[in-house]
A and B are shown apart, each in its own frame.
Chain A
Amino acid sequence: MSNSSSSQYSNYQNKVSHSRATSEPAWIRWVLIITTLLFLSLFLFVPLVAVFTEALRKGFDTYITALTDPDALSAIKLTLIAAAIAVPLNLVFGVAAAWAIAKFEFKGKSILITLIDLPFAVSPVIAGLIYVLIFGLQGWFGSYLSDHDFKVIFAIPGIVLATIFVTFPFIARELIPLMQAQGKDEEEAGLVLGASGWQILWRITLPNIKWGLLYGVILTNARAMGEFGAVSVVSGHIRGLTNTMPLHVEILYNEYNYSAAFAVASLLALLALVTLVLKSFVEWKVARNASNNEHNS
């Protein structure tokens, strides 16, 4: 209740403070708005719409055929598998890293944070390359692996590893500032009341960070399912076996099978739109919680 009336108040305040002296004439405002919309249309909206129109150009039946093709289905399955392994592993890492960094003081902390960010700075192609250097046939463990008949490169483990690498920092980066801001008073209170470390984690910390965690998971999942460059290097593009959805899109496209390529691409575009909706929802939820807390305190 107090929330809605206060937002009305701040709207009112905005209107007053952005009066003539601190705002632009209407014609400048509209020129700027239209220029922005034009720019975003050329780069964002038109390509997005193109994915769906190209996918459906040859009719709905062709669309469905392209998606139910056995190679397409196995690509979808592999994409889901890679994400299902990469996301939980990076989730556990993110919580552990954020716990150590946010709740404790130690030397080299800022170096550690920078190192966690490293995968963002590495080209996806290089992310794939480094695993080839280690697990490839000529790599460090190449002969050992081939003696034991275990394939990493040009096989599913390589794809999973490359996916983990490119999505490595997302959850940790989301949680570290969040947990630093929350401090450790609540956890210490739990400890004083006799809770064990795991109880503190499950009953205090995780409920406190759940929205940030969800936000990180959403971003990680989107990147994991959509990764192309890194996965492309380690996959070997074996149809029906080591093709993820983005790689399947590439193969179909290079075979000039455009409508099938865009059909699979449209699934990934839908995933991107769902990601944006979820992301906006979490942001809205966090903003609402924050303003509620402000009013309660």
Chain B
Amino acid sequence: MAKHKNVLPGFNLTLGYTLLYLSLIVLIPLSAAFIKTTELSFDEFWSVVTAPRVLASYKLTFGASLIGALINAVFGLLTAWVLVRYTFPGKKIIDALVDLPFALPTAVAGIALTAVYAGNGWLGSLLEPHGIKVAFTPIGVIIALTFIGLPFVVRTVQPVLEDLEAETEEAAASLGANRFQTFTKVILPTLWPALLTGFALAFARAIGEYGSVIFIAGNVPFVSEITPLIIITKLEQYEYSSATAIAVVMLVISFLLLFAINGLQWWATRRNGSSY
């Protein structure tokens, strides 16, 4: 593209406004969290963020988020495949409903999942006779985190699958590959970046999630208490510094994930040879 002097107006105004608004709403408030933490000495900070109850909450939050994201990676890929490749009645409606977790308020999702998976609920009453308790256990947390991460993998894999050229599959088939080989050796490798991106997005979303989890989790300390809930509990007890210390730990992890996701997307566009 030829470089020429830009003549369009409004650069200073729009960039200035963007930076001002971004600073006021996002950057300055977020920096408040980091500045507040400096009120604690390092030892105090460390003892707050590694207290046994807090450690147990990290384990649950990250463990359940990871399992939820893995479930979504498998079933999201399957859903994307079925939606792109096959035709069946009601497909359009189902395609639209995949985005429900984006549109449904998390509190509504939380009480709905609890109603369904509680001991007297539609699905809970089927599972409990078999000794599977979902609501008010870590399994409930996994269910809620799977729900809120569901659209990510589907929506990142779907467009890549749609753009896949039929010719490569035909070539694989004509070279004697069976359908399973074509899938694992030809189709899956092109899907990897999108699949990983969707997985990372679902995981990142899940670790910060609060609304859909607290109703179904039961919130038993050391068992089913997620880290965001610990932050809220500390706030309600006016322990602002310790609440902020835990928040800073989560912020740092979230930012690292965000950079990882950006890197993944850059890799994905480069690999798929998009013209940028």
Give A contacts to B, CB under 8 Å.
Answer: 17-18, 21-24, 29, 32-33, 35-37, 39-40, 42-48, 50-51, 54, 93, 96-97, 99-101, 103-106, 112, 114-126, 129-134, 136, 138-140, 161, 164-165, 168, 184, 187-188, 191, 196-197, 200-201, 219, 222, 225-229, 232-233, 245-247, 249-250, 253, 258, 261-262, 265, 268-269, 271-273, 275-277, 279-280
Q: Write the B219-263 contact mask toward A (1 if CB under 8 angstroms, else 0).
A: 000000000110110010000100110010011001101110010
Shortest CB-to-CB span from B84 to chain A, Å, is 11
**B:195-229 near A, CB below 8 Å:** 204, 207-211, 215, 228-229
Give B contacts to A, CB under 8 Å.
Answer: 6-11, 13-15, 17-19, 21-22, 25-30, 32-33, 36, 75, 78-79, 81-82, 85-86, 88, 92, 94, 96-109, 111-113, 115-116, 121-123, 143, 146-147, 150, 166, 169-170, 173-174, 179, 182, 204, 207-211, 215, 228-229, 231-232, 235, 240, 243-244, 247, 250-251, 254-255, 257-259, 262
3 pairs of A and B residues whose beta carbons are closest in the complex: A226-B105, A123-B208, A228-B211
Residues of B within 8 A of A44 (CB): 97-98, 100-101, 147, 150
**Once bound together, how far apart are the Cα atoms of A229 and B109, in whole Å?**
13
Residues of A within 8 A of B262 (CB): 114, 117
Contact of A253 among B113, B174, B215 (CB under 8 A): B215
Minimum CB distance partner of A228 in chain B = B211
Residues of A within 8 A of B123 (CB): 42, 46
Whether A130 and B14, one on each chain, are in contact in the complex, defined by CB atoms closer than 8 angstroms, is: no
The count of A-to-B residue pairs whose CB atoms sit within 8 angstroms is: 279
Residues of A within 8 A of B103 (CB): 222, 226, 271-273, 275-276, 279
Contact of A168 among B26, B147, B247 (CB under 8 A): B26
**Once bound together, how far apart are the Cα atoms of A200 and B18, in whole Å?**
19
Shortest CB-to-CB span from B236 to chain A, Å, is 9
